[in-house]
Amino acid sequence: MDLNRSEETRVTGSSQPSAMDNHGLQVSRRWWAWIAGGLVVLLIGYRLVHRPAGDSASAAGAANGGQHTAIPIAVGTARTGDLRRYLTALGTVTAFNTATIKTRVDGEIVAVDFIEGQFVHKGDLLIQIDPRPYEAALEQAKGQLAKDSASLEYARVTLKRDEDLYKQAVISSDQRDSQQSTVGQDEGAIVADQANIDTAQLNVTYSHITAPFNGRIGLRLVDPGNIVHATDTTGLAVITQIEPIAVIFSIPEDNLPEVLKSMRANGTLEVDAYDRELTNKLATGTLLTTDNEIDTSTGTIKLKASFPNTDHALFPNQFVNAKLLVETLHNMVLVPTAAVQTNQLGSFVYVVQQNNTVDSRQVTIAGTQGDDTAVTSGVKNGEYVVVDGLDRLQPGSHVVIASAGGKKNPQQ
């Protein structure tokens, strides 16, 4: 009997948990509940902190009653005016006349009568070569002329006497003819003497070197005391015409027809000369002519313009930018070139409406020059067109004008 009770006791102890075990299980379940709750709180906090900007914008938009976000833009004003169309090309200032002064006689330079860089006039004395040898030759030629003139006079008197004697049959015809030949020889000597005088006089003149035209003299190349010869290859000085002066420039052959058409219509075309940076206008002149052929290697043709240059702003061999006025469009609607965009239908601009939205309008372009574009349709005088912020726009977009040529929002 005792054995059976002990066995029952063992069986019962192995099938029912103790109070200690139940308490440990409850503590473990509470820890897991706290851990799960903490994870939920952390997840909610992370979502609140890292909520996407789009959700914030949507929430803000919903809070504002669904209003659209305005796009900041800059605008320009369409205006009425004239558009002057130019062709711009790099040109070279070229003198109409340039001369290297050389001597035409041999001799010693006795005087240099100009200052380097001086402006001289036609006929002004520049250099003197010792004229005494040529003056002596001139006097000698004059003396020979006087001698031969006396001989001619005596021969003519003798011929007259021989004519009378021949008529009286005192002398033969051979004697008369011989005297007539002597007269002819003396007349020839007179002509030769006069030529020698002219040559000597010319040499005297050449010994005084003068300016061939109005211009500016350069640096002198010789000094007094030097012996110069007519065969010398180097010059004595260089003179260049300054007033007027020319500019030669080239334009593409594709632009030649409109230039010729404008020349036939207007007679003369205006040309402006600018500096290298194309910022400062140096002079204004007129187009003279075009070259007679196109350069096949470059596909361009040369044009020549004339400038009065009374202020000497242009200098020979100077590089300038030539702007040729081809056409003037009068009373056109002008819009900033930056406002003109293109699409499948052609050119268009965004126009700001009174309700601060933009409208896309197709425009017809008549011409473009620099920052201005002339249009014949699509925009009216005084309307505002968008010049900056175009990449974010579409028809109906709400905008706020941040800049309008230094003015405040025109809609405000």
Could you report the per-residue pLDDT of 248-285, keeping only the tens digit for each? 999 999 999 999 999 998 888 999 999 999 899 999 99
Region 99-122: mean pLDDT is 93
Give CA–CA dist 180/192, Å, rounded.
Answer: 19
Q: In terms of Cα–Cα distance, which of 289, 330, 314 is closest to 82?
A: 330
Which pLDDT score, from 0 to 100, does residue 167 have? 84
Region 104-119: mean pLDDT is 93
Which pLDDT score, from 0 to 100, does residue 65 have? 39
The owner of tokens 């219509």 is 265
145, 157, 159, 340 from 150: Cα distances, Å: 9, 11, 14, 95
73, 267, 358 from 389: Cα distances, Å: 5, 45, 12
pTM value is: 0.65
Give CA–CA dist 201/150, Å, rounded.
Answer: 22
Which pLDDT score, from 0 to 100, does residue 26 have? 56
**What would the two tokens of residue 351 be?**
């126009």
DSSP 3-state percent helix, strand, coil across the chain (nearest 5): 35, 35, 30
**What would the two tokens of residue 344 be?**
């499948």
List, as one string, the DSSP characters of 154-215: HHHHHHHHHHHHHHTTSS-HHHHHHHHHHHHHHHHHHHHHHHHHHHHHHHHHHTEEE-SSSE
Question: How many residues make up the chain in this entry?
Answer: 412
pLDDT reading at 345 higher than 60: yes
pLDDT reading at 339 higher than 50: yes
